[in-house]
Chain A
């Protein structure tokens, strides 16, 4: 019998090396793109960096007929193509491949779960994985309920216990979590019959990115930023997620989702809540989630009647990206030629709380824009105008703090400087910190960090149910309003910065989108 709250006297808590608990990870939808492009390469990289538990195995669960060896070979070529550590290390692979298995079954088939349970118990004995399980649901969300129900029915999901030395089971759910507020509540209510919130890991890979994690450090470990992080000093905030690519082969998916669901509801609302939250009481997952939820609940709702005023949608037509002619959205594969799905969204949001009252948050996300960039820009209020330095020779530009999330992760700060010489001209200059300049090493991929966190029982970087529901509550009226109105699409050319109305959204308040 294990003793509750056992503390290993050999553990040194100052050690920077994390040792996730022994476990078996079962990937549902193991023949999908995500498994080969992200998940298995992430596991391999963890093994490469000695971050994978010593006692570990991975089981791919999918419907296609396949042998262990076939699956292993596919995963080998996936690692060769997509791992950040290339080429594959033959020594490491020879051990790693033996830890990978394939289990064929339909998602609704009881027999498949009965044999899975037996198989996992056999692996427990072989690898001393102590009965611990990570279930990674890399399937379309419509399969989440049936898989979770079957896992529960066949005792593969254990009742939640807080004692980390009892066998545990954790379930990672890929996005999207619901299609709107109603379906998200329905899904949450259903899975919560089988999974405790502490066992539910709703993944948003943006939260695994170094720069996003650094947001809390930047804000709360630097006095000069946090003391000015409010409506007294900040004029407005712009958050941009722009992609130059179109929808590629994701036509089916995108026709169902659209930009608001695919990017804004999860990634952008997570970024917004991290930028705007108050300092947490401590760095525990609960304390951080609580503060993020407060922000999301403080965002001023957009009633149906105001959707057009505060939200702009767009869809790309033909155009040029990187000098090459590209087709419009409606000409993409698996897309309706009359589709009204948005590939661009811009929003003006307000957070009605003490800190942010009156500060607009501008969010824009789009496909087929001129470049791939994700960034958060904090634009400070201008200095009192017409008083000093504001002359015919120069204007005083506001300070801007930019947090670049991808590519070229880093932080820059724009400030004014005197142009050398006898005249009194001012010139904005940029102080630029680049992660790659100081920490040249390749940071772990977001999935590596998040999988490792799940194995360690740390859900700080995963979305909690109330965060997602608060986000859906805000965005569902927009989806409802859009479904009632038709709009003349396409309304922006591929390779441009979106529809003209997106410019007007800021111009009416005397502001402009940043030049990216």
Chain B
């Protein structure tokens, strides 16, 4: 449930929010904030993608949400401000939305600074590439607790992007840096961990002959470069198994990774899957020594994958593992905000940066 006031004066932001709360007096609602969550999107399409994440976060953790959206230049460039109170499960969250023409974007931090709730952490959900010069990000970096990038960079830019992420992390000791492409592979990392859960299984994975990673290549409004999560996944796996990448070839839309000390050939292959968000991993196929074959594919209409393991002699009964649906609702709010940044993330960034 939302109630809002559109196009209000800058000076009236807090006053209007208070009026919205007062208007709801008598309703059984509680007004609460655990943190400030500031979202920036360079265009409306990307903003729509990020809003679904914001909504999922708000449904679990009440917060003050501030949305900055850059809108195309109109005949009369301007800054437009809306405020609203969004009620989720009887808890009301403030939402302040700023639509700004590019000409005025530099003013936005100065408008918003007074409206961050003091003493509560500031999380940034930043819909822009870290390598693009950003006129407003520096104002928030020094006061934020964590920044979560959502970028749509082409694969050939990934080394530059990841280097920039590492630099940012190293230069700001109080800031935690992460990105959505990493968060999107959380479930697949867990799936692999559950399947390969003994020294024998790990050995089999380490000496696999081929791994095929299918990703959803269907482009979205905000995401056009759909390979990035799959590349993260493959590079994460390489760091875990000490595979040293020898070459990466791109042919017929497929990325082929070859390794120095391993027989493994990893391919990242596009596969259109309207059931999943753009760029997410769809399924895995793995062939290993002794004719082991693993197929891990999603079960339609369920938040699960089916795992088939077979050899020439044995065909084990398939079993299921959890794969939360990213399409229905973003399931990683807790991971995004509260999970400490892991060494595995840093190692994956370092590997990609070195490519």
* Chain A residues close to B by CB (< 8 Å): 2-3, 6, 8-17, 19, 50, 54-55, 91, 95, 126-128, 165, 434, 436-441
Contact = CB atoms under 8 A, between A and B. Distances in A.
A16 B302 contact: no
B321 A54 contact: yes
B341 A14 contact: yes
Contact of A8 (B34, B62, B197, B340): B197
Interface string B277-306: 000000000000000000000000111100
Interface stretch (B7-15, B162-170, B185-193, B264-272): B185-193
A88 to B, nearest CB: 15
Contacts of B90: 440
Contact of B342 (A12, A17, A95): A12
Given A8-B197, A10-B189, A15-B342, 9 more contacts: A3-B199, A9-B202, A10-B192, A15-B186, A15-B190, A15-B335, A17-B186, A19-B194, A54-B322
B197 A438 contact: no
B45 interface: no
Contacts of B198: 2, 6, 165
A500 B59 CA distance: 47
A438 B302 contact: no
B189 A91 contact: no
B156 interface: no
B30 A16 contact: no
Given A10-B193, A11-B193, A54-B319, A441 B60 contact: yes
B193 A440 contact: no
B355 interface: no
B55 to A, nearest CB: 13
B339 interface: yes
A50 B335 contact: no
A276 B53 CA distance: 42
Contacts of B199: 2-3, 6
Interface of B: 30, 32, 34, 59-62, 88-91, 186, 189-190, 192-194, 196-199, 202, 240-241, 301-304, 316-317, 319-322, 324, 334-335, 338-342, 344
Contacts of B30: 434, 436-437
A436 B91 CA distance: 9
B338 A17 contact: no
B90 to A, nearest CB: 7
Which 6 pairs from chain A and chain B are nearest by CB? A50-B322, A14-B342, A440-B89, A10-B193, A437-B30, A9-B240
A9 B194 contact: no
Contacts of B240: 9-10
Contacts of A126: 317
Contact of B320 (A8, A16, A54, A436): A54
B345 to A, nearest CB: 8
Given A19-B193, A438-B34, A440-B90, A14 B61 contact: no
Contacts of A50: 303, 322, 324
A15 B339 contact: yes
B15 to A, nearest CB: 22
A9 B238 CA distance: 11
A56 to B, nearest CB: 10
A438 B321 CA distance: 31
Nearest to A433: B32
23 contacts: A2-B198, A2-B199, A8-B196, A10-B192, A10-B193, A10-B196, A10-B202, A12-B193, A14-B339, A14-B340, A14-B341, A15-B342, A17-B190, A126-B317, A127-B319, A436-B30, A437-B32, A437-B91, A438-B32, A439-B61, A440-B59, A441-B60, A441-B89
Given A6-B199, A91-B302, A54 B324 contact: no
A417 B307 CA distance: 63
A9 B343 CA distance: 12
Contacts of A434: 30
B337 to A, nearest CB: 10
Contacts of A14: 339-342, 344
A10 B202 CA distance: 9
Contact of B62 (A3, A6, A55, A440): A440
A349 B324 CA distance: 50
A8 B340 CA distance: 19
A50 B321 CA distance: 9
| Residue of B34, B197, B317, B335 most packed against chain A (CB within 10 A) | B197
A45 B192 CA distance: 24
Given A15-B339, A91-B302, A127-B319, A438 B194 contact: no
| Residue of A9, A19, A438 most packed against chain B (CB within 10 A) | A9
Contact of A440 (B91, B189, B194, B334): B91
| Residue of B89, B316, B322 most packed against chain A (CB within 10 A) | B322
Contacts of B186: 15, 17
Contacts of B321: 54
Contacts of A19: 190, 193-194
Given A15-B186, A440-B89, A54 B194 contact: yes
Contacts of B303: 50
Contacts of B302: 91
B339 to A, nearest CB: 5
B3 to A, nearest CB: 18
B193 A8 contact: yes
Contacts of B193: 8, 10-12, 19
Contacts of B241: 9
A11 B338 CA distance: 18
B202 A12 contact: no
A95 B316 CA distance: 18
A97 to B, nearest CB: 14
B131 to A, nearest CB: 26
A6 B341 CA distance: 23
